[in-house]
Structure 1
Amino acid sequence: MFFKPRFSTKKYARRGFRLRGNTLVLLFIFFLIGLFLHYGGKTKPVVAFWNDIREIIGIGRSQPDREETNPYKAPEPREDVATDEGTASSDESEASDTKRDRTAPKSSPKNERFDFEKQVDFLLPVSRNAGELIRHEGYTLSYRDEYKDAEWVAYPLLDYETTGDADRKYEQFQPDPAVSTGTALPSDYTRSGYDRGHLAPAGDFKYSQRMMKETFLMSNITPQAPQFNRGIWKELEELVRTWAVRDNGLYVITGPVLKPGLSTIGRSNEVSVPEKFYKVILYCNKPDIRMIGFLLENEPSTNSLKQFVVPVDQIEQLTGLDFFPKIPDDLERKLESKGRGEMVDEWFSY
């Protein structure tokens, strides 16, 4: 006995388009591929897509995707080892780069060089310590392995170098493969309470992504108290750039005051934490010449930068360095012995 339905099933047929299971899978795969292509091959396209949706509906981006509040924090490398990839120029690094002569502030009718400026390595200090001399394209430094810090970093700062489209967000801190004994690692600073502070600032090389990339080598990095690095030290760096534009170029030497017994940080290396930092700046425009020194404690401060101006002789005594030794002795002594008031009048008055 069979049950006979009251209505006929023959009159009904499946209408419309129904997707089979494998078709749904293919569409989902194509959707993911589209996300990857749309977001430039980023490793987290779904997160990026979700953040875009949040912005459209007014929720805002998710917390991990927001920018860091610390402008001095750059992404850490996946590995704390120096590789060819870490120092090679990428397409981004080469985009705004051209070869330029950086041996000295450029000569012009308004900026004439002294004969001593033309001598080889005129800019480099002489040290009574045995640091390793490291020459990079943008700057030269002397590295002290016992401190895992550079004792000085020197470079000419030309007016056009302070502007450009180079951006620090593209760079990562990397060990410096040029240092034979090895540098500190980015991880030595992790959760140490100290910033990875630049000696040669990234902002002094905005005209070239390749040059800026060099400033993230760990030979150029030193432990700095966060509010010092982001406060009075940043203010001094900005002032020096302003002067470089005003004066059509300067010579800049920067470093920590290194001495035995400093406290250290580090997981893999003992990185000395300097108590003081200095800058020595020289302006030359024959027949005019002037020099100024700054000495700052590695701590926050709200004081005027004028309060940190000191005779360059004082910095030489603390560091054991001889700045600009190729300047004739009488002129060198005159420049380096000037007091705060005279230097402030010369540098801050216009």
Structure 2
Amino acid sequence: MFFKPRFSTKNYARRGFRLRGNSLITLFVFFLIGLFLHYGGRTKPVVAFWNDFRQIIGLGRSRSDREGSNPYKAPEPKSDEATDDRRGGQSNESEASDNNSSSPSEASSGNQRFDFEKQVDFLLPVSKANGELIRHEGYTLSYRNQYKDAEWVAYPLLAYETTGDADRKNEQFKPDPAVEDGTALPFDYTRSGYDRGHLAPAADFKFSQRMMRETFFMSNITPQVPEFNRGIWGDLENQIRSWARRDKGVYVVTGPVLKPGLSTIGKSTEVSVPEKFYKVILYCNKPDIRMVGFLMTNEGSNKSLKEFVVPVDLIEQLTGLDFFPKIPDDLEQKLESKSREEVVDEWFDN
């Protein structure tokens, strides 16, 4: 004897709540939108969730995530609120490679120094503009508030400073607390289409985590086209480090060509986007001395670095700067007016 229900289970199943494929997709889309809104419009946590979800269902991580992180880009600030503090702050994490607490001596290269090298602030340019002089442990810069860019960054680069275990992986861009009127903020660059380009490269300070951390102050950062920053500009930075190792040390001055009317980016401040960048490198080992200047357009290029060598006089005309003004005038004029061919032979063929 079988019990026969008074109602039809078949009809009940038909009328019950049942999600179809399209409904599931719609709910998932709304869930992602909710995540995006929950994180204040920041896509990074949403992308992280999506990659985890792909792994769970067996699709693997997205292609961009598999290719690894961009070595020219430090992590985004953990929150906009934390990085909006213009007074900044120092990390308390342990210092890799910082066994020496004192800054390196410019004489520790072993090269014989000229008398003019021994003068205070020998390597600092003289500017026609009234930039704010900012001194950090690893480098000195002149900050132009109207552009929210440094007009120059200067530092000696010794051979041992380019090696070590300091790592940029966990460093974050941050406002420079030393700048009186404040710098740009890290998120001024977010989704702008430009990289946060270093003037003093992080890799020039691999011997000290503390000094590498200084290079992530926004006073040392400027908008650079990604193909430029990660391409020809990075090639030039590598070349200069190889010269520093070969010659036991060089002086480096680098910066953008600033002028009125540049385009700008920024959400909290207007940051000028330079059209050109320069580097001026000086080698001294008495009685030998040589100087080279590079001028590059803020765009990708496949040209040889030699093609960007220009007389330092030209860079001075464009920037209004006087590089290494404490070199005797006759010697300075000789160094700065050499032809490209002479300079290329001196630097690239040695």
TM range, normalised to the smaller chain?
Answer: 0.7 to 0.9
Name the counterpart of 1:169.
169
Aligned positions of 1:15-30 closer than 5 A:
none
Aligned positions of 1:47-58 closer than 5 A:
none
Name the counterpart of 1:211.
211
Whether 1:144 and 2:144 are equivalent positions in the alignment is yes
Post-superposition offset of 1:66: 5.3
Aligned positions of 1:117-136 closer than 5 A:
117-136=117-136
Does structure 1 retain, via aligned residues, the 8 Å contact 2:151–2:255?
A: yes
Name the counterpart of 2:104.
102
Q: Deviations over 1:112-157 (max 9, x none)?
A: 1111111100010000100000000000000000000000000000
Instruction: Tell me, in whole angstroms, the C-alpha distance in 1 between the residues paired with 2:262 and 2:63.
Output: 38
Structure 1 stretches of 4+ with a deviation exceeding 3 A read 58-69, 100-103
Name the counterpart of 1:81.
84
Name the counterpart of 1:223.
223
Name the counterpart of 1:90.
92
TM-score by length of 1: 0.80
> In structure 1, the residue corresponding to 2:324 is in which secondary structure?
coil
Label 1:217 to 1:186 Cα distance change in 2 as closer, same or farther (>3 A).
Answer: same
Identity %: 74
Does structure 2 retain, via aligned residues, the 8 Å contact 1:281–1:291?
A: yes
Aligned positions of 1:286-325 closer than 5 A:
286-325=286-325
> In structure 2, the residue corresponding to 1:335 is in which secondary structure?
helix
Post-superposition offset of 1:332: 0.5
Post-superposition offset of 1:100: 3.9
Does structure 2 retain, via aligned residues, the 8 Å contact 1:105–1:158?
A: no
Does structure 2 retain, via aligned residues, the 8 Å contact 1:89–1:210?
A: no
> In structure 2, the residue corresponding to 1:253 is in which secondary structure?
strand
Post-superposition offset of 1:293: 0.1
Instruction: Tell me, in whole angstroms, the C-alpha distance in 1 between the residues paired with 2:282 and 2:62.
Output: 48
Instruction: Tell me, in whole angstroms, the C-alpha distance in 2 between the residues paired with 1:342 and 1:65.
Output: 46
Does structure 2 retain, via aligned residues, the 8 Å contact 1:105–1:248?
A: no
Aligned positions of 1:326-341 closer than 5 A:
326-341=326-341
Instruction: Tell me, in whole angstroms, the C-alpha distance in 1 between the residues paired with 2:62 and 2:189.
Output: 27
Does structure 2 retain, via aligned residues, the 8 Å contact 1:132–1:143?
A: yes
* Amino acid aligned to 2:71: P
TM-score by length of 2: 0.80
Name the counterpart of 1:238.
238
Label 1:295 to 1:83 Cα distance change in 2 as closer, same or farther (>3 A).
Answer: closer
Could you say what the CA RMSD is over the residues aligned between the two structures, in angstroms? Answer: 2.3
- Structure 2 unaligned blocks of 5 or more: 1-44
* Amino acid aligned to 1:335: L
Name the counterpart of 1:267.
267
Name the counterpart of 2:21.
none
> In structure 2, the residue corresponding to 1:106 is in which secondary structure?
helix
Instruction: Tell me, in whole angstroms, the C-alpha distance in 2 between the residues paired with 1:140 and 1:192.
Output: 27
> In structure 2, the residue corresponding to 1:230 is in which secondary structure?
helix
Post-superposition offset of 1:67: 6.7
Does structure 2 retain, via aligned residues, the 8 Å contact 1:201–1:215?
A: yes
Aligned positions of 1:178-197 closer than 5 A:
178-197=178-197
Name the counterpart of 2:256.
256
> In structure 1, the residue corresponding to 2:156 is in which secondary structure?
strand
Q: Deviations over 1:15-61 (max 9, x none)?
A: xxxxxxxxxxxxxxxxxxxxxxxxxxxxx9xx99x97xx79xx9866
Label 1:296 to 1:64 Cα distance change in 2 as closer, same or farther (>3 A).
Answer: closer
* Amino acid aligned to 1:74: A
Instruction: Tell me, in whole angstroms, the C-alpha distance in 2 between the residues paired with 1:306 and 1:64.
Output: 33
Q: Deviations over 1:243-287 (max 9, x none)?
A: 000000000000000000000001111100000000000000000
Instruction: Tell me, in whole angstroms, the C-alpha distance in 2 between the residues paired with 1:71 and 1:306.
Output: 25
Q: Deviations over 1:224-244 (max 9, x none)?
A: 000000000000000000000
> In structure 2, the residue corresponding to 1:192 is in which secondary structure?
coil
Post-superposition offset of 1:91: 2.7
Instruction: Tell me, in whole angstroms, the C-alpha distance in 1 between the residues paired with 2:68 and 2:176.
Output: 25
Count residues with an aligned counterpart: 297
Larger radius of gyration: 1
Q: Deviations over 1:63-89 (max 9, x none)?
A: 7975754222212222333477x5424
